Structure 1
Amino acid sequence: MPSKQKNPLSPKKLLLSKWTAVHPTHQRKHFLVSKVILPDLPEKAIEYVELEAVIDKQSRLIAWRELSNSAVWLQGWV
Structure 2
Amino acid sequence: MTTTRRLNPEKLRLSKWTAAAPRNKEKHFLVVALGRATPDGPVETVTLEAVYTGRQQELPWRALCDASQWLQGWA
What's the TM-score bracket when you normalise by the shorter of the two chains? Answer: 0.7 to 0.9
Q: TM-score, normalised by structure 1?
A: 0.85
Structure index of larger Rg? 1
Q: Residue type of the partner of 2:6?
A: P
Q: Residue 35 of structure 1 is aligned with which of 33, 36, 48?
A: 33
Identity of aligned residues (%): 42
> Per-residue deviation at 1:15?
0.2
Q: CA RMSD in A?
A: 1.5
Q: In the comparison of the two structures, how many residue pairs are matched? A: 72
> Per-residue deviation at 1:38?
2.1
The structure carrying a bigger strand percent of its residues is: 2
Q: What residue is the counterpart of 1:46 in the other structure?
A: 43
Q: TM-score, normalised by structure 2?
A: 0.88
**Structure 1: which 5+ residue stretches go unaligned?**
1-5
